[in-house]
Structure 1
Amino acid sequence: MIDHLGITVSDFDASKAFYDKAMAPLGAALLYMVPEEYTGGAKVGGYGRDRPVFWLSTGKDRPRDHQHVAFTARSRAEVDAFHAAALAAGGKDNGGPGLRPHYHPNYYGAFVFDPDGNNVEAVCHDPE
């Protein structure tokens, strides 16, 4: 059910150096850096084996005590339904349902802030 998760770090380069070494025995590596034009200047990078599943981020708009978790959706309709239900439950929009091709061509996700300000996402990786 967990698709990926992210933590906020105070020093991206120091954390990257740590995780580069710590993840190597697990067969994982830094696979992707999100272009800073999509992050507001924050450094955001994802580790994994086949695809990024553990993300590090830093930046002035990313409080250290707020985290990110993404849940796997089985369809784009589930992503849409998640977003609507989360907003109806009091969540705050952080990016409506839609394609995010800067991650990969079929990345369809929606983001909300929960009552504590955590960034919660539903994502479908299927082409439709």
Structure 2
Amino acid sequence: MIDHVGILVTDWAKARAFYDAAFAPLGYSMLAEVPEQYTGGVKVGGYGKAKPDFWLTESAETGPGRHYAFQAASQAEVDAFYAAAMANGGTDNGGPGPRPHYHEHYYGAFVLDPDGNNIEAVFHGG
């Protein structure tokens, strides 16, 4: 249903380092950066696997925090996402583990990014 989403970030370099590290275990990387002559001088870039699905836009203000969950292929990927995010400016918002109150086969980890967005990796395995 949703083709792509985006968030605002106040510090492009800090956000880029955080997402580069946190997304690497999930197989996501920066796939596109829009030339600043098309963005009014702000940095804009999109992460994904085959196409940009999650976009960052540089902004002086970010507004209220958001929650985005990204699919992981295993519990090990969730664990690696959490470790990389925490080592690169993330704040714990719920370490890796089962969440049976969500669903019996739900294994996730939650980290606040440098702008306070709740970023999650989740594995729905059995």
| TM-score (normalizing by structure 2) | 0.50
In the TM superposition, what whole-angstrom CA distance separates every residue of 1:93-113 from its partner, at most 9, and x where no partner exists? 000000000111110000000
Query: What are the superposed Cα offsets for residues 28-52 of structure 1, whole Å, 9 maximum, x if unpaired?
Result: xxxxxxxxxxxxxxxxxxxxxxxxx
What residue number does 1:124 align with? 123
TM superposition shift of 1:65: 1.0
Kindly indicate whether residue 98 of structure 2 is the aligned counterpart of residue 88 of structure 1.
no
Q: What's the RMSD between the two structures over aligned residues?
A: 1.7
Q: Number of residues paired by the alignment?
A: 66
Runs of 4 or more above 6 Å deviation: none
Q: Please show how residues 1-128 of structure 1 align to structure 2 within 5 Å.
A: 65-127=64-126
Deviation at 1:114, TM superposition (A): 0.2
Q: For 1:85, what is the secondary structure of its paired residue?
A: helix
Partner-residue secondary structure (3-state), 2:100: coil
Give 5+ residue unaligned stretches, structure 1.
6-63
Unaligned runs of 5+ in 2: 6-62
Equivalent position SS for 1:117: coil
